[in-house]
Amino acid sequence: MKQALVEGAAKLVGPNMYEQGAGRVDLLESFEILKSYQPRASIFPSILDYTNCPYTWPFCRQALYSGAMPVIFNATILNGMGVIGYVQSPPTWHPSTEEGNLLRIHFTFSEVIWPWTGYLALHMQIKEEGAHFSGVIEGNVTVRIFSPPAQGEKTARTSTCVLQLKLNVVPTPPRSKRILWDQFHSIKYPPGYIPRDSLDVRNDILDWHGDHLHTNFHSMFNMLRDAGYYVETLGSPFTCFDASHYGTLLLVDLEDEYFQEEIEKLRDDVINTGLGLAVFAEWYNVDTMVKMRFFDDNTRSWWTPVTGGANIPALNDLLEPFGIAFGDKILNGDFSIDGEHSRYASGTDIVRFPRDGYIHSFPFLDSSESGATQNVLLNSGMNKADSPILGLLDAGEGRIAVYGDSNCLDSSHMVTNCYWLLRKILDFTGSNIKDPVLFSESAKQDVPLYEDDNRLPSRRTDVNYTLYSAVTGKDLICRSDSRFEVWGTKGYNLHVRGRNKIMPGHHVIDLGRGLNSTFGSSRSRRPKFTKKRKGDSLGNRYFSLLYRDELDVPELVASHWVVPAIVAVTGFVLILSIWRIHHKRRRRRRSASGRLANL
């Protein structure tokens, strides 16, 4: 029934695929499909045309190019042959033209298609040899599905699904125009109580809109594309991207912690590799968080924020190598720079900044002690005090910009946008273009801004952060949304020379350099094969299994029978020894009983 409904639907003009799905239901067309229907499997959508805007937004807004993070699309497998089904053979990519060979696709999919549905995920990258290619790539992805025979049937039911693919490809953009958006360190609701970013908003207490480029930051994403920037998403730790490819790493409204390896790599990326860093923080005040505790009727439990609008203690750890730190004030008010007006809504202040940096301060109301909204503070006649909120700094080969509020980029509860400020910051971090107003001599710091460690915001000690974090208590691992060459490893700068160290629980398979690379498991994050080390003896290579070491291609195949064989032989020898000992004891008891009988 669902196959008939989605295949018979008519697309609407205007809304994208995530807004309208298959489109408007056409019952007559669906009825015609059902009249001649035979049980089969299909893929929805059956056509994925990234040149069709706005239907395939956001994919149609940015073409693919070599060196980018994988573009991932999840298609739905609809199985009309039975309630349960399986992928019979790995999905394959069939390009229509020679240029299609420039596209590498890795697949992940449902191990079991149940009930009736599953997924097929395409992870798409352009190969290095396509760095200068401009044009359209077309072809088909095919996957074969089978289900057990129905009642009265003797053979399994099989069906081949086809997904038509059409992609725009452009030459690799210059580094200064490439922005990497950090999604990995954003904690979304659920699983925890992540509070709203603007405390003036009383009817929306949770930060539940995703904090993603394609959800509540979609207007910012469109603005950046209109300005000529190329924006990619990082869904793994900082060790999983090559900083030499990007002009700016954009950190906006982040709540998670950071691995020590990330902190060290980011420092090296900025100072030595010339990476630009732009940070948009949020409020963080423990007293205010405690006051936001409430009883949830659905779960029949007390809910307490696990962090503030952003995790300022974690951000301060990340920025500590640069001498930068945020405070715990909650600032509200309006300000203007060079005729551009913006609202500062529940933002934080800067309490540490190095000498020779540029700081901009404005008079704001501080609600961190009272917990009141801006409107209440304005009516109370409270005096405003100058607070530093924007800082810009040259750091070695790179550049850093920090700002204490993200509401002006967030479409959810935006009062005024600060896209004008974001563009000026990106000009600085990516291209070292310094706006004369932002970099005026009056804003330059002759002495460093400094706050003692014991006055910096501290973490909550009554919250078990491991329940919500992708970092705390977790292994550092590059996920399947990072570049293929670092899947399942710790990242670019953490390889043992010539080898990728594989984390426990992540199996080794061939990522391959060929046309069709397939991942059969939907849960495993797969790294590439590694080169063989000279001098490894046969015994050392096989016994390295006991130490969770990675294997080379022939060793991996051999390990499937060598290790079980060793275990089987050892078990047989052990059983034989026990039997012989038991048999000797029985013979001794018999001889002893015979002697007693003779007596």
Q: DSSP secondary-structure letter at 113?
A: B
Interatomic CA distance for residues 476 and 257, integer angstroms: 12
pLDDT at 465 over 80: yes
Q: Give the 3-state secondary structure of 29-84.
A: HHHHHHHCCCCCEEEECCEEECCCCCCCCCHHHCCECECCCCEEEEEEEEECCCCC
Evaluate if residue 498 carries a pLDDT over 80.
no
Of 113, 107, 140, 142, which is closest to residue 125 (Cα–Cα)?
107
Residue 504: what residue type?
A: P
- The answer to whether 386 touches 350, Cβ cutoff 8 Å, is no
- What does the alpha-carbon distance between residue 435 and residue 427 come to, in Å, rounded to a whole number? 8
Q: How confident is the model at residue 380 (pLDDT cuts 50, 70, 90)?
A: low
Q: What is the mean pLDDT of residues 86-95?
A: 96
202 pLDDT tier (thresholds 50, 70, 90): low
Q: What is the pLDDT of residue 205?
A: 63
Q: How confident is the model at residue 519 (pLDDT cuts 50, 70, 90)?
A: very low
Give me the pLDDT at residue 8, please: 96
Worst-scoring range by mean pLDDT, 7-11, 63-67, 255-259, 521-525?
521-525
Token couple for 595: 């002697």
Per-residue model confidence as pLDDT tens digits over 245-259: 999 999 999 999 999
CB 213 within 8 A of CB 58: yes
The band of 588, judged by pLDDT with boundaries at 50, 70 and 90, is: low
Q: What is the mean pLDDT of residues 347-360?
A: 97
pLDDT over 70 percentage in the chain: 82
Q: How far apart are CA 456 and CA 352, in angstroms?
A: 10
Class of residue 56 by CB neighbours under 10 A (exposed 0-12, middle 13-18, buried 19+): buried
Q: From CA 422, how far away is CA 424, in angstroms rounded?
A: 5
pLDDT at 525 over 70: no
pLDDT at 462 over 90: no
The two tokens of residue 4 are 């008939």
pLDDT band at 97 (very low <50, low <70, confident <90, very high): very high
Higher per-residue pLDDT: 204 or 324: 324
Amino acid residing at 546: L
> Burial code of 235-256, b = ≥16 C-beta within 10 A, e = fewer?
bbbbbbbbbebbbbbbbbbbbb
User: What is the pTM (predicted TM-score) of this model?
Assistant: 0.81
Q: What count of other Cβ atoms lies within 10 Å of the Cβ of residue 448?
A: 12
What's the pLDDT at 240? 97
Are β-strands 276-280 and 248-252 bridged in parallel, bridged antiparallel, or unpaired? parallel
Give the pLDDT score at 115.
95
What is the pLDDT, as a whole number, of residue 579?
A: 77
Does residue 592 register a pLDDT over 90?
no
Q: How far is CA 21 from the centre of its chain?
A: 24
243 in Cβ contact with 273 (< 8 Å): yes
Question: Could you tell me the domains of the chain?
Answer: 2-169 (2.60.40.10), 175-467 (3.40.50.880)
Q: Where are the beta strands (DSSP E) in 419-560?
A: 516-518
Give the other-Cβ count within 10 Å of 37's Cβ.
14
In this prediction, residues 541-557 reach a mean pLDDT of 35
DSSP three-state, residue 107: strand
State how far the Cα of 108 lies from the Cα of 79, in Å rounded to an integer.
Answer: 17
The pLDDT value given to residue 74: 96
pLDDT for 197: 74
| pLDDT band with cut points at 50, 70 and 90 for residue 146 | very high
Q: What value does the mean pLDDT of the chain take? A: 85
pLDDT surpasses 90 at 53: yes
Measured CA to CA, the distance from residue 353 to residue 323 in angstroms comes to 6
Burial class (CB in 10 A: 0-12, 13-18, 19+), 317: middle
Contact 167, 50 (CB under 8 A): yes
Mean pLDDT of 155-166: 97
* pLDDT for position 399: 98
Is 323 buried (19+), middle (13-18) or exposed (0-12) by CB count in 10 A?
Answer: middle
In this predicted structure, the answer to whether residue 496 has a pLDDT above a threshold of 50 is no
Mean of the pLDDT values across residues 323-338?
Answer: 96
CA–CA gap between residue 3 and residue 14 (Å, rounded): 24
pLDDT attached to residue 528: 35
Q: How far is Cα 99 from Cα 73, in angstroms, rounded to an integer?
A: 21
- What is the residue-wise DSSP string for 213-243? TTTTTHHHHHHHHHTT-EEEEE-S-GGGS-G
The amino acid that residue 55 corresponds to is Y
- Residue 335 CB-density burial (10 A; 0-12 exposed, 13-18 middle, 19+ buried): middle
Q: How far is CA 544 from CA 133, 486, 537, 555, 558, in A?
A: 44, 22, 11, 11, 13
345 pLDDT exceeds 50? Answer: yes
Minimum mean pLDDT range among 174-188, 389-403, 540-554:
540-554
What average pLDDT does this structure show over 42-56? 96
For the chain, helix, strand, coil in percent to 5 are 30, 25, 45
Residue 166 binned pLDDT confidence (cut-offs 50, 70, 90): very high
**What is the residue whose two structure tokens read 């009930």?**
115
Cis peptide before 115 (omega within 30 of 0): yes
Cis peptide before 195 (omega within 30 of 0): no
User: Distance between CA atoms of 284 and 194, rounded to whole angstroms?
Assistant: 12
Helices (H), 235-360: 260-271, 286-291, 312-319
Query: What is the band of 493 on the pLDDT scale with cuts at 50, 70, 90?
Result: low
Cα separation, 262 vs 431, in Å, equals 24
Instruction: State the Cα angle at 123 between 225 and 530, rounded to 5°.
Output: 120
> Prior bond to 95 cis, omega within 30?
no
